[in-house]
Amino acid sequence: MENLKTEYEIDLTIPAKKNLVIIPRLVVAGLLSEQKITVEELENIKLIISEAVNLLFNSEGKINMKISLLKENDKNVLKVIISTNLTKEILENLSKSGLTIHILNYLCSKFNVHQKQKEIEIFIEKEI
C-alpha cells in the first residue's frame, strides 16, 4: 500500500470517560459516509473504534486519536492511532482483554498495541 494519498485527517481528544465513546464512532461514521461500504461494514468499523477506545479508558486523563482516510486508486484505508498516558489501570484492563484484542486482530487489516515511553498506543488499519 504505497503511494496512499491522505484524503482526510482528523485529530481528536476526548476525556477518558466511557460515555464519550460515541464521539469517535460518530466522527468515523461521518468520515466514511461518502464511501461505498455496506451498513454491516460500517457497523464493524464502528465496533472496532469503540472496542479499541474502551481498551484505553481509565478513571482520569484524555484519549488522543488521529483518524486518517487514505486513498489510492480504488483502495481506501482507514488508519486510526489511539493513545493515552500509561497507567496501572490500563495495564490491568489490557491484561484482561485477550478476547477483545483477538477480535480486533480479526476485524482489522492491521492492529497492534505498544508502549511508547509513558504512553500506550493502539494502531488500527482497515481497508475499505
Predicted confidence (pLDDT) per residue in 9-54, tens digit? 999 999 988 889 999 999 999 999 888 899 999 999 999 999 999 9
CATH 3.30.565.10 fits 5-127, yes or no: yes
For 81-119, how does the pLDDT look when each residue is reduced to its tens digit (9 = 90+)?
999 998 888 888 888 999 999 999 999 999 999 998 899
Confirm if 124 and 80 have CB atoms less than 8 A apart: yes
| pTM (2 d.p.) | 0.89
What are the extents of the domains in the chain? 5-127
